[in-house]
Every structure is written in C-alpha cells, then in structure tokens.
Amino acid sequence: MRVLETVAAFREARRAHAVLGFAPTMGFLHDGHLSLVARARAENPAVAASLFVNPTQFGDARDLLLYPRDLPGDLAKLERAGVDLVFAPSAQEMYPPGAATRIEVGAIAEVLEGASRPGHFAGVATVVAKLFSIVAPTRAYFGRKDAQQVAVVRRMVVDLDLPVEIVACETVRDPDGLALSSRNARLSPAGRAVAPALHRALLRAQAAVAAGARDAEELRAAMREALAAEPLIALDYVSVADPDTLAELDRVDAPALASLAARIGDVRLIDNLPLTPKTP
Ligand code: AMP
C-alpha cells in the first residue's frame, strides 16, 4: 500500500492503474467505511481510499476541532483491507492560500442537512470534485447512511459530466441498530444507550408503509412521537421525501426515503431508511 500526501505524488502513483475503485472518507475508520473498501476491492482491480477531514464542510469550528482522528489506526485498517493507494493530504495541500472556487449543487443541497448546516454541501461537493480530479476513479463508493450526500454527488456528476460511476452501499449498523459513525465515539454511555431509538423510529415508519400507510405527515408524526419519549434526544428534523430530489412528500405512493437528524448531548447523528410501498 502506498500512502501519498500531495496531489502530484498521488497522480504519479495513480498512473500504474487503468481501473481504480475509490472510497473517500474523513478517517477514524469503522466497519461502515471498510464495507465501501471491500465492495470497491470486489469490483475493481485496484483500490484507493482518501483520509481527509475536510474543513470546508464543517460550519461549526468546535465540531471540526472535536472530529476524531487516528491516522496510524486508519492506515493499518486500509492495509489489511487490501487498499493499493491512500491519499492523505493536509488541509494546506487541498486548500492552498487563494483557493476560492466552490461548487453549489442547487435545491437538493438546500433541504434537510443543507438547511441545518448551511454551506455543508458546497464544502462536500467541492472536496469530492477535487478528489475525483486528483484520484480519477473509475468507480466511487459512498454510504447510503449519508443518503443526501449520495444524491448531491450524483447530481454533481451528471451536471458536470464527471467520468465516474457512483456506487451507493448499504448502511452498516451495530447489532442494536445504531448506524456506525465516527461520531458515535463521542457519545456518553447514557447517550449511546438511547441512540438506537433513532433507527427504531425509522423502522416504525418503514413498517407503517409496509402495512399500507401512505400519508407522509402521519409517518413524520409517528417518528416524532417515537422519539419524544427520549429526553436525551433533541430532534433536529424528520423527513419523508422523494429519494432523488429529497423534496418532502404528501403521500408515499412510490419508493421514498425516511430520514432524521438529532442531537444527543453535543453529538449530532443522522440516519435514514428506504420506504417501499407495496404495489397493489
Ligand atoms: P465519513 O468518513 O463520515 O465522511 O464517511 C465516508 C464514507 O463512509 C461516506 O460515503 C459515508 O456515507 C460512508 N459511511 C459512513 N458510515 C457508514 C455506515 N455506517 N455504513 C455505510 N457507509 C458508511
């Protein structure tokens, strides 16, 4: 495995591979990240991963400061997972003085996470476009846990004619249902104990739809009610939306996405599940 810290060094190393799978990450790797790498490994002759905590997608300086990091641990995991190339640049390498261009993806980036975290998806789109330019992957692997991120990246790739195939991978969860996240490490024991309620609220919406519920507002209310009983959970939003545009729905007559965001202490968590109405 080769670890490259500069754009020029990565581009040089990349020339050895015709077809390359790529998993971009912010590090502090868990089995969710490693599932992207494993899928990339299975579908491509060579695999790259990136480790970069992107400052421009954090609105909150404290959140950026507290974001967990473990470069030696991450490199050991990537090596065991059979990664060929790791791109681990500094913030200075990615954003040298004078860097000014930002990619705005439009309406899809302004709802949900975009509404709660202004500028977040411009930061994500810009760094993903830069990583695609540097890494030049054949296929890039993203987790459905960040469903809006997948939708934003897909929109950008279509709009900018970027020559990369986007592959969305299933969310990996702890046995109690909590979606794996680097942020989970910052939960208090009490916070960790209540956190699976987020997944249970989404399961409740999913089960209701499977049983015939169609009214989106009733589904949102059911998720809110499921979480109202947990005093440690401060809900940010619940959503029942079109899976591609993320526009809120009135009725669930076709596949949709239930998603939510909440704070547990000072840790902000997001999760989602697909809603699949039975066709009559
Ligand atoms: P992050 O390091 O949080 O930016 O995540 C890097 C990639 O890993 C993104 O595509 C995430 O959607 C994906 N990812 C994070 N957590 C999970 C998970 N629990 N299951 C699957 N993919 C995940």
Query: Which contacts qualify for 120-126: CB closer than 8 Å, 24 or more apart?
Result: 120/57, 120/58, 120/59, 121/57, 121/148, 121/149, 121/152, 122/56, 123/54, 123/55, 123/56, 123/57, 123/58, 124/54, 124/57, 124/149, 124/152, 124/153, 125/152, 125/153, 125/156, 126/56, 126/101, 126/102
pLDDT greater than 80 at residue 280: no
Ligand 1 site, residue 113, Cβ cutoff 6 A: no
Res 228: pLDDT: 95
25, 31, 33: which to mutate for ligand 1, most atoms within 8 A of CB? 33
Residue 138 near residue 165 (C-beta atoms within 8 A): yes
Res 48: pLDDT: 99
Say how many Å lie between the CA of residue 111 and the centre of ligand 1.
20
CA 254 from chain centre, in angstroms, equals 24
Res 51: pLDDT: 98
CA 123 from chain centre, in angstroms, equals 13
Res 279: pLDDT: 77
Res 278: pLDDT: 86
Is residue 30 flagged as an active site residue?
A: no
Ligand 1 site, residue 148, Cβ cutoff 6 A: no
Say how many Å lie between the CA of residue 212 and the centre of ligand 1.
31
Catalytic residue among 17, 33, 120, 199: 33
Per-residue HEC secondary structure of 21-36 comes to EEEEECCCCCHHHHHH
Ligand 1 site, residue 172, Cβ cutoff 6 A: yes
Res 251: pLDDT: 98
- DSSP per-residue codes, 244-276: TT-PBPSB-SS-EEEEEEEEETTEEEEEEEEE-
Q: What is the CA radius of gyration of the chain?
A: 19
For 87-145, what is each residue's pLDDT tens digit? 999 999 999 999 999 999 999 999 999 999 999 999 999 999 999 999 999 999 999 99
Q: CB-based contacts of 229: which residues, under 8 Å, 6+ apart?
A: none
Task: Take atom 5 of ligand 1 and give the residue whose Cα is closest.
Answer: 25
Ligand 1 site, residue 261, Cβ cutoff 6 A: no
Say how many Å lie between the CA of residue 137 and the centre of ligand 1.
18
Higher pLDDT, 7 or 60: 7
Q: Which atom of ligand 1 is nearest to the CA of 146?
A: 12
Task: Take atom 18 of ligand 1 and give the residue whose Cα is closest.
Answer: 32
For 3-54, what is each residue's pLDDT tens digit? 999 999 999 999 999 999 999 999 999 999 999 999 999 999 999 999 999 9
Res 203: pLDDT: 98
What's the start-to-end Cα distance of the chain, in Å? 52
For 187-243, what is each residue's pLDDT tens digit? 999 999 999 999 999 999 999 999 999 999 999 999 999 999 999 999 999 999 999
Q: Count how many Cα atoms sit within 13 Å of the Cα of residue 79 in the half-sphere of its side chain.
A: 9
Task: Share the mean pLDDT of the chain.
Answer: 97
Res 3: pLDDT: 98
Distances (CA, A) of 172 to 1, 215, 233: 25, 29, 22
Say how many Å lie between the CA of residue 280 and the centre of ligand 1.
35
